Amino acid sequence: MSPRSCLCGLPASYQDCCGKLHRGEAVATTAEQLMRSRFTAFGVGDAAYLLRTWHPASRSARLDLDKRVRWTRLEILETTGGSVVHTEGTVRFRAHYVDRGRPGEMEEHSRFVRLDGRWVYAGAM
């Protein structure tokens, strides 16, 4: 990841983009922003952030990230709801990775809800 661009794909540095959310200096204002920050958390190995932003009803007690997988790029394919005025939203995305030298991708349609005023990941649809 270059210091000029965040892994989430937005044109800001990690420190000024997803890093702020990971450090707790800001919160996601939209479901898409939370999705982007969660993808980046996978990329930088921040399991604590992933657990903090996962709905408690579906969250695992712990999360072990595979260090052999390197997340490389995120494509947002579609969003519904999830804005500053919504309480629910979905994000369909494609995440690109390299696993032991082999490129791959996964696609998911994720659901997000507001819990105590903050966006959280509620699971795959």
Condensed to tens digits (0 to 9), the pLDDT of residues 97-107 reads 999 999 999 99
Task: List pLDDT tens digits, range 37-68.
Answer: 999 999 999 999 999 999 999 998 899 999 99
Query: Is 5 among the domain residues?
Result: no
Query: Is 8 among the domain residues?
Result: no
Query: Is 11 among the domain residues?
Result: no
Single pTM value for the model: 0.95
Number of structural domains in the chain: 1
Amino acid code (one letter) for 87: T
Query: Is 96 among the domain residues?
Result: yes
Query: Is 1 among the domain residues?
Result: no
Question: Could you tell me which residues come within 8 angstroms of residue 93 by beta carbon, excluding any fewer than 6 positions away?
Answer: 35, 39, 74, 75, 76, 77, 107, 108, 110
Which structural domain, as residue segments, surrounds residue 117? 18-124
Q: Please choose, from the candidates 6, 2, 1, 3, the residue with its C-alpha nearest in 3D space to the C-alpha of residue 18.
A: 6
What's the CATH code of the domain at 112? 3.10.450.50
Query: Is 108 among the domain residues?
Result: yes
